[in-house]
């Protein structure tokens, strides 16, 4: 059985949002069309407390998009985004969320970010999604969403490492592309055995 995993199609990642990904909203109709054909649909939702440690605003003399060292490794600092319960954290209004059987929220612990839908940024703390998919007998995943070079790539690489058969539909993703991060993400995904469609 297969599942469509829709990563972070939220207002703050769309044009006009706090961490807008160029053209982030343009993928919504294509994702809705794919949902109709999917055996199962899972949505992920970036979901941060207002004082989350990935926000540049929480660090003295740091600007958004800078890099700092956290106890779990390097971390890009972001503008405040996807604050729990805010409009920015809501799904894009045109996304057909009624199709989803599971919504997995991530990044809700103040001290650690979670790009991947499977593990937090320490690459160890599970979100629970692996267990959900396995207990439903799902072994094949198609991933779409935002942003290609961060949450989609991290999720796809983790899924491949866990043994899932993973395809990323690049036409239904959009990237932030910070200092060449899109090229790196594509190479890393291909190397991990992710099919780029
Ligand atoms: Zn975030």
Pairing mode, strands 41-46 and 73-76: unpaired
Report, as an integer, the average pLDDT of 89-95: 98
Clarify whether 14 is annotated catalytic: no
- Ligand 1 geometric centre to CA of 106 (Å): 8
pLDDT in tens, 140-168: 999 999 999 999 999 999 999 999 999 99
Query: What pLDDT score does 188 carry?
Result: 98
Among residues 46, 80, 106, 149, the one annotated as catalytic is 106
DSSP secondary structure letter of residue 26: G
pLDDT, tens digit (0-9, with 9 covering 90-100), for 9-42: 999 999 999 999 999 999 999 999 999 999 999 9
Query: What tokens were used for 45?
Result: 């939702």
H or E, element range at 6: strand 2-7
54 Cα to the center of ligand 1, angstroms: 7
Percent of the chain with pLDDT over 70: 100
**Of 149, 182, 196, nearest to 8 (Cα)?**
149
The 8 Å CB, 24+ separation contacts for 110-114 are 110/49, 110/51, 110/52, 110/53, 111/53, 111/71, 112/53, 112/70, 112/72, 113/52, 113/53, 113/54, 113/75
pLDDT of residue 28: 98
- The reported pTM is 0.97
State residue 196's pLDDT score. 98
Q: Is 80 a catalytic residue?
A: no
State the distance from the centre of ligand 1 to the C-alpha of 55, rounded, in angstroms: 8
What integer best gives the mean pLDDT of the chain?
97
Structure-token pair, residue 145: 């969403």
173 is catalytic: no
pLDDT of residue 167: 98
- Write down the catalytic residue from 8, 25, 46, 149: 8
């Amino acid at each position: 059985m297969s599942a469509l995993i829709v990563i972070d199609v939220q207002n703050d990642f769309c044009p006009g949002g706090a961490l807008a990904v160029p053209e982030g909203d343009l993928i919504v109709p294509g994702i809705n069309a794919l949902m109709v054909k999917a055996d199962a649909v899972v949505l992920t939702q970036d979901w941060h407390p207002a004082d989350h440690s990935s926000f540049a605003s929480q660090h003295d003399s740091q600007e958004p998009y800078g890099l700092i060292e956290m106890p779990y490794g390097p971390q890009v600092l972001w503008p405040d985004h996807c604050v729990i319960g805010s409009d920015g954290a809501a799904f894009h209004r045109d996304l057909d969320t009624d199709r989803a059987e599971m919504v997995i929220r991530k990044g809700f612990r103040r001290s650690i970010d979670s790009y991947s839908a499977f593990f937090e940024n320490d690459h160890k703390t599970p979100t629970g999604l692996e267990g959900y998919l396995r207990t439903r007998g799902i072994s094949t995943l198609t991933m779409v969403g935002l942003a290609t070079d961060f949450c989609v790539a991290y999720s796809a690489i983790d899924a491949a490492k866990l043994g899932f058969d993973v395809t990323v539909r690049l036409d239904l993703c959009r990237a932030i592309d910070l200092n060449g991060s899109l090229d790196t993400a594509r190479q890393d995904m291909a190397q991990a055995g992710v099919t780029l469609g």
